[in-house]
Amino acid sequence: MAYAVVTIKRIKDQAAFQEYAEKVAPLIAEHGGRYLVSDPSPEVRDGEFPYARIVIVEFPTEERARGWYESAEYQAIMPIRKRAFDANIIFAREFRR
């Protein structure tokens, strides 16, 4: 498994955020992804969480995760994302021993 981990620093435009959310969900599904977490207020037990939201999406493989992010369809909605919010987006692999 591979994961896209998104920490949203701040939401700049709520309407654009909603538009992006509606457009990105089907693209994630098309690439085999599924939302595991979308939380605007995770419980912080130690340290700080200086973000407006965390989102974690699971993909069956790293290639499918990259395929989603690099797809022409996702690139087409990226300007909406950048208008809607500031974020960090990282890809992480499942822990294997």
- Give the CATH number for residue 68: 3.30.70.100
Measure CA 94 to chain center. 16
Structural domain boundaries, residue 8: 2-93
pLDDT tens per residue, range 55-92: 999 999 999 999 999 999 999 999 999 999 999 999 99
DSSP string, 54-72: EEEEEESSHHHHHHHHHSH
Structural contact between residues 51 and 7, judged by C-beta atoms closer than 8 angstroms: yes
Structural contact between residues 97 and 8, judged by C-beta atoms closer than 8 angstroms: no
User: φ and ψ at 60, to 5 degrees?
Assistant: -65, -30
pLDDT tens per residue, range 5-50: 999 999 999 999 999 999 999 999 999 999 999 999 899 999 999 9
Split into its structural domains, the chain has a count of 1
Residue 70: other Cβ atoms inside 10 A: 9
Residue 64's pLDDT is 97
Structural contact between residues 87 and 52, judged by C-beta atoms closer than 8 angstroms: no
pTM, 2 dp:
0.92
